[in-house]
């Protein structure tokens, strides 16, 4: 753990404030101990119970749990029949897993730029990128803010495309009163340790029918189909993607608190907007996310640093925030500028909005255990640093 830090010499030491931290209650911890004592610690009854609860949460749709929110997208693409020679449209401003899974199934990711306001995929550009080889689109709900599902549905229906919603960050979010995951095509969620609910590592895939769910089960565990008492068949090439009962028990405890967690995150986000609305802070020119307190689950609070007004880059800001006892994050560098993707032909300048955001977005602390004073501390520290770095 980081050591306590002080904001200034002579001030009392304050505990280090990370940019995120999971909240796990004692009942869940005790429940994990019960699973460990049971002797059944890999996939078993707790996974089935977790899947049933998730299905209820998503309006009765078929749900299967996995050991990551990455394999869920790969499996969805495989179920959808995406293969070598196909194209999948997505955003370059996301965790690299979103496009890596396209490569895993042999297809080619086709990036389009982001909307500079929402920081999510520009759907007008996405539609313009459709070709005869396009088979699917992967929109990403960055920071928990949903992509326009009405516009998305219209585009995909018009061009007969499958959709794999990268909803890794948006459990608890909604679109016009409907929970993300309760409608649509494939919807993939992550339960990584920094997500709004966690299984330490894990994820789930929401599907359309039981046929897809059965195929997902095959892909989840080496393609195996069992017929009691001793029958076994393998029809597809699967992987080792199953969730454990230990992880599922954590997920059950977390899911019970999701609405509480979401409400607290929205409360903290409102506090951030109030702190950033102070005249001296506004004058620094930091860009804020859309103030959506209805649909977004506020997985993250990200500010856009005013690159043109600063004498140093984001790394310097992060170092000084850390010295002040405050953790920050980067979500995310633009994917197409990684060496792997440059070798595929992408270059600087291809997607200017995503590149600017990738250089300048700074993720600030936001998690349910925080209090209003923490938000004030973060904004004051950041504002002081930006003021000192003005050109």
pLDDT in tens, 294-308: 999 999 999 999 999
- Tell me how far apart the alpha carbons of residues 28 and 135 are, in angstroms, rounded to a whole number: 41
pLDDT in tens, 193-251: 999 999 999 999 999 999 999 999 999 999 999 999 999 999 999 999 999 999 999 99
The mean predicted confidence, pLDDT, of the chain is 96
Phi, psi (rounded to 5 degrees) for 70: -95, -50
Q: Which helix (H) or strand (E) holds 110?
A: strand 108-111
Q: In this structure, are strands 134-138 and 186-190 parallel, antiparallel, or unpaired?
A: unpaired
**CB 91: neighbour CB atoms within 10 A?**
31
Beta-carbon contacts of 159 under 8 Å, excluding residues fewer than 6 positions away, are: 127, 130, 134
Q: How confident is the model at residue 6 (pLDDT cuts 50, 70, 90)?
A: very low
Q: Which helix (H) or strand (E) holds 136?
A: strand 134-138
Give the SS3 label for residue 256: coil
Name the residue with tokens 């200034």.
Answer: 8
Q: Which helix (H) or strand (E) holds 69?
A: none
195 is catalytic: yes
Give the SS3 label for residue 363: strand
Domains of the chain: 26-255 (3.40.640.10), 258-388 (3.90.1150.10)
Beta-carbon contacts of 264 under 8 Å, excluding residues fewer than 6 positions away, are: 368
Q: Is the pLDDT of residue 118 over 50?
A: yes
From the list 46, 195, 264, 347, the catalytic residue is 195
Half-sphere exposure of 198 (CA within 13 A, CB side): 16
């Amino acid at each position: 753990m980081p050591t306590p830090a002080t904001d200034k010499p002579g001030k009392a030491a304050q505990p280090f404030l990370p940019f995120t931290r999971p909240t796990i209650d004692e009942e869940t911890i005790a429940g994990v101990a019960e699973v460990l004592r049971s002797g059944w610690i890999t996939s078993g009854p707790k996974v089935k119970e977790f899947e049933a609860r998730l299905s209820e949460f998503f309006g009765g749709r078929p749900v299967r749990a996995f050991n990551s929110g990455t394999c869920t997208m790969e499996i969805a693409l495989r179920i959808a029949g995406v293969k070598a020679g196909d194209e999948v449209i997505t955003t370059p401003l996301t965790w690299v897993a979103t496009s890596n899974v396209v490569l895993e199934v042999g297809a080619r990711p086709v990036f389009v730029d982001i909307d500079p306001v929402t920081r999510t995929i520009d759907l007008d550009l996405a539609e313009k990128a459709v070709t005869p080889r396009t088979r699917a689109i992967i929109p990403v709900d960055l920071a928990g803010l949903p992509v326009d599902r009405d516009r998305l549905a219209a585009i995909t229906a018009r061009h007969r495309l499958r959709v794999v919603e990268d909803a890794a960050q948006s459990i608890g979010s909604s679109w016009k009163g409907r929970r993300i995951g309760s409608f649509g095509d494939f919807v993939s969620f992550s339960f990584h340790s920094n997500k709004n609910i966690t299984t330490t590592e894990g994820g789930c895939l929401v599907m359309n029918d039981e046929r897809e769910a059965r195929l997902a089960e095959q892909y989840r565990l080496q393609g195996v189909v069992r017929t009691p008492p001793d029958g076994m068949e393998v029809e597809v090439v699967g992987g080792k993607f199953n969730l454990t009962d230990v992880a599922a028990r954590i997920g059950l405890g977390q899911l019970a608190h999701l609405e509480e967690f979401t409400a607290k995150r929205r409360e903290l986000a409102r506090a951030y907007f109030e702190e950033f609305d102070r005249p001296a802070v506004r004058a620094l020119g930091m860009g804020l996310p859309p103030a959506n307190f209805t649909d977004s689950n506020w997985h993250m609070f990200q500010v856009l640093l005013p690159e043109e007004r600063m004498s140093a880059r984001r790394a310097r800001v992060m170092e000084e925030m850390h010295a002040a006892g405050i953790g920050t994050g980067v979500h995310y560098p633009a994917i197409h500028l990684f060496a792997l993707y440059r070798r595929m032909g992408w270059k600087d300048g291809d997607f200017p909005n995503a590149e600017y955001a990738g250089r300048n977005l700074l993720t600030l602390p936001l998690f349910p255990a925080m209090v209003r004073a923490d938000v004030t501390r973060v904004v004051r520290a950041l504002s002081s640093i930006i003021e000192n770095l003005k050109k």
